Structure 1
Amino acid sequence: MATTKELNVEDKLRAIYDLQIIDSRIDEIRNVRGELPLEVEDLEDEVTGLSTRLDKLKSDLVTIEEQIKNKKNAIDDHQAAIKKYTAQQKEVRNNREFNSLTKEVEFQELEIQLAEKQIKELKASIEHKKEVIANSKEKLDQKTTHLKHKKAELSDIMAETQKEEAFLIEKSAEYEALIEERLLAAYKRIRSSVRNGLAVVSIERGASAGSFFTIPPQTQVEIAARKKIITDEHSGRILVDASLAEEEREKMQKLFAHL
């Protein structure tokens, strides 16, 4: 390919229109993927979050079961203490000692009642946790299945388009190298500011493609002469004549056909 210095205006117009065709094709490929990569990423985050929550819930369950076990052991200790104090009451020598042991027995009985109440509450908590775990597991299974399908979908699209996209990115860089820095900067600025990414458009039925504003006849003649870079005063887009555009589209189609 010729160097930047050797390009005349027509060659510049052809090069920048070719670049537009290539970049638009890259846009199309990426639009096919759309939000899928982000969707996959979000699903992966959701699955990770749900897995972490499920692990925490299961850990909580183990902790609660351990607490119930400790409460039951405490009840056994309190019952043993009651048995001991009751036995001691039979051997006391006065009412003061007997009453003191009675208070100890009552205290142990209150501790047993409290422990039993706490066990009941802990068992209710276990049932609730199990329900939450079941719901979380169901949701995790659904999200994991959904993620698997979306990954497969993305993988299929990537397999179909990766080679073409890599080729086009390489070609885009080649054509960028042909275009002078100031013109390339203008092209990139316009591309980033318009929704469809079209910075270079052809004249169609007296107006720039995609625009309702008519190009004055004298301007159309100047565009067709290909002697200077002309932009649309309304959109700022670089304008090329329909014949040049058609020739370059055919050329690019042959280039794409080899993929």
Structure 2
Amino acid sequence: MAKKAELSVEDRLRSLYDLQLIDSRVDEIRNIRGELPLEVRDLEDEVEGLNTRLEKLNGGLTVVDEEIKSKKNLIEEAKTLIKKYAEQQKNVRNNREFNSITKEIEFQELEIELAEKHIKEFKVQTEQKKEIISETKDRLKDRQAHLKHKKSELNAILAETEKEETALVKKSEEYQESLDERLVNAYHRIRANVKNGLAVVAIERGASGGSFFTIPPQVQVEIASRKKVITDEHSGRILVDAQLAEEQKEKMQKLFAKLS
């Protein structure tokens, strides 16, 4: 494996600040996407759930319709039997036969009454199910439209930023490869523990970037000399002087313009 070229402290500071600018740009791109991928996934799950619910509701409606048909058939059969028994009553030979047929007629009349009651109940269920189906369809239509909009929004952002993000991630890896592993590990550790992922910051108005803690004048002179890597005792961030930061920002802005 080829040995890494030994960088001066100043070169390491410049590379570290470049790495920070690259990673911050990647963070910015990912923040633009924000919660969109998660929103799209949640909407897809909701649409799938609503479709499943509709299938079950329609299935339930079919079952109720079949029950109504069954009860209507039972009523027709009972009416046929009543007509048949009524004819038989005309030819009975004694009261016992007459009473027996009368009971059969009464039983079929009760069957008709019960079936009609069930049909009314099933019709109420049908109306309720139809109302829920209608509401579910409206909800599904709304969620599908919202999903289409969010997908379009996400795809537009991806189309605009995916190429740049991929190129920037590759550049970040290249810069990390050029730096000492211990320094890169320290950079990632600081970046994970500070606000906005800023592990390397410039001195601004005598304080470390993003901090209200003043850097002593002697330490500012040491930072400006670029002879060693110095960290802020309050935030732990790696510090660079404003001039170096400005020079690297200008350099990286040209790179970002090419990649975007």
Is the deviation greater in 39-48 or in 2-11?
A: 2-11
Partner of residue 80, structure 1: 80
CA distance in 1, matches of 2:193, 2:96: 95
Task: Say if 1:184 and 1:48 are closer, same or farther in 2 by CA, change over 3 A.
Answer: same
Partner of residue 183, structure 2: 183
Is the deviation greater in 141-150 or in 77-86?
A: 77-86
Partner of residue 246, structure 1: 246
* Letter paired with 1:175: Y
Shift of 1:3: 5.9
Partner of residue 256, structure 2: 256
Shift of 1:177: 0.8
Percent same amino acid at aligned positions? 68
Partner of residue 12, structure 1: 12
Deviation above 4 Å: which 4+ runs of structure 1? none
Structure 1 length normalisation: TM-score?
0.93
Partner of residue 26, structure 1: 26
CA distance in 1, matches of 2:78, 2:234: 90
Q: Deviations over 1:46-97 (max 9, x none)?
A: 1111122122222222221111111111111222222233333333333333
Partner of residue 234, structure 1: 234
Q: Deviations over 1:169-190 (max 9, x none)?
A: 1101101112222221221122
Task: Say if 1:126 and 1:187 are closer, same or farther in 2 by CA, change over 3 A.
Answer: same
Q: Deviations over 1:15-65 (max 9, x none)?
A: 111110000001111111111111111111111111221222222222211
TM alignment of 1:1-259, pairs within 5 A: 4-259=4-259
Shift of 1:5: 4.9
CA distance in 2, matches of 1:194, 1:71: 72
Aligned Cα root-mean-square deviation (Å): 1.7
Task: Say if 1:69 and 1:105 are closer, same or farther in 2 by CA, change over 3 A.
Answer: same
Structure 1 unpaired stretches of 5+: none
CA distance in 1, matches of 2:9, 2:242: 16
Is the deviation greater in 80-89 or in 150-159?
A: 80-89
* Letter paired with 2:35: E
Structure 2 unpaired stretches of 5+: none
Contact 1:3 1:178 in 2 (8 A): no
* Letter paired with 2:17: Y
Shift of 1:127: 1.3
Residue 196 of structure 1 aligns to a residue in which SS? helix
Q: How many residues align?
A: 258
Is the deviation greater in 143-152 or in 203-212?
A: 143-152
